[in-house]
Amino acid sequence: ISIVNNFHLDANNQIQTKLLLTGASGFVGGFLMREASTRSFLVRIAGRGYLSLTDLPECEQSSGFELLSDADWSQALIRVEVVIHCAARAHIMNEELADPLAEYRKVNVVGTLNLARQAAAAGVKRFIFISSIKVNGESTAPGQRFLASDIPAPEDAYGQSKLEAEQGLLALAQETGMEVVIIRPPLVYGPGVKGNFASMIRLVDKGLPLPLGAIHNRRSLVGIDNLVDLIILCIDHPAAANRIFLAGDGEDLSTTELLRAVGKAMGRPARLMPLPAAFLRCGATLLGKQAVAKRLLGSLQVDISQTCDDLDWKPPFTVEESLRRCFLPGN
């Protein structure tokens, strides 16, 4: 790489965009770091500790950063043109803190806006914020889909904190002229995923009989490769400035269909028993597992048509392909 007047040139003498990526140790950030570094971007990652970057020559690292109200980002922002902000206090199931919203706000709102204000002051052109579909809500009625233009209706502290961060960023964009792009993904899956999706994979892999063979809900997901492709597109797409976009694979599945698709991708067919959804809801209520039942039995659909139309984008991988990539050798 040559450096001329502080601009980095690739092998074809094209100026490379310099990115600051937060949250590179996380699921989305880790995939994004690797993909961006292969697409002629220079990536600086900022976090609390070091990551092994021996195989990523287009990455550099700044350490010792906490996403707090008093963090000084000045060194990390030097010559950065675009910030991609993946770092956050993640959604925690069965949150037991007395005031979870206050804890989410410290990182997801105050910490985010502190970084964004410093980015604007440093001359950063665009700030891409990875939000959550939880800003829209937790479920959709049959036949309905969330839109980016919907009135936000978060139902938990995490979703509320993401909404407040979005509002602060859009206000900052008007105040400073720094462009803001907001992306709201639904459940993200891919190689090495954790949480509920990983639990589903383990259950199918064990060959346990599951009472989910007659569920007719519809849920939107987004494969990590599709989400990363969308984020990278938003780095310099002119139509992305100061917009909110919903992400997704463009294919909605029932829980039954998803389990069968996971089994097919693993080469291990899911063993499903066709119990009625109403019976499962009653059982979940008796066991105090209504939230689990809502995710397994309820619908959550997102409409990505505006994202596709405005950005001339199409998810590069189908759900079947994305699931198959979860189980490729080495993943």
Token representation of residue 42: 């220079």
pLDDT in tens, 273-321: 998 888 888 888 888 887 777 888 899 999 999 999 999 999 999 999 9
Residue 180 has pLDDT above 70, yes or no: yes
In whole angstroms, give the CA distance from residue 227 to residue 214.
Answer: 29
Q: What Å distances lie between residue 106 and 80, 160, 171, 198, 228, CA to CA?
A: 25, 12, 19, 28, 26
Residue 140 has pLDDT above 90, yes or no: yes
pLDDT in tens, 158-173: 999 999 999 999 999 9
In whole angstroms, give the CA distance from residue 323 to residue 261.
Answer: 8
For 20-24, 68-72, 146-150, 283-287, which range has the lowest pLDDT when averaged over its residues?
Answer: 68-72
- Helix 290-297 × helix 277-286 angle, to 10°: 160
Which residues are designated catalytic?
A: 158
Q: Which amino acid is at 294?
A: K
pLDDT bin (cut points 50, 70, 90) of residue 59 is: low
Torsion of Cα atoms, 205 then 210 then 212 then 213, to 10°? 90
- pLDDT, residue 136, reads 97
Q: pTM of the predicted model, to two decimals?
A: 0.89
In whole angstroms, give the CA distance from residue 322 to residue 206.
Answer: 21
In whole angstroms, give the CA distance from residue 294 to residue 284.
Answer: 9
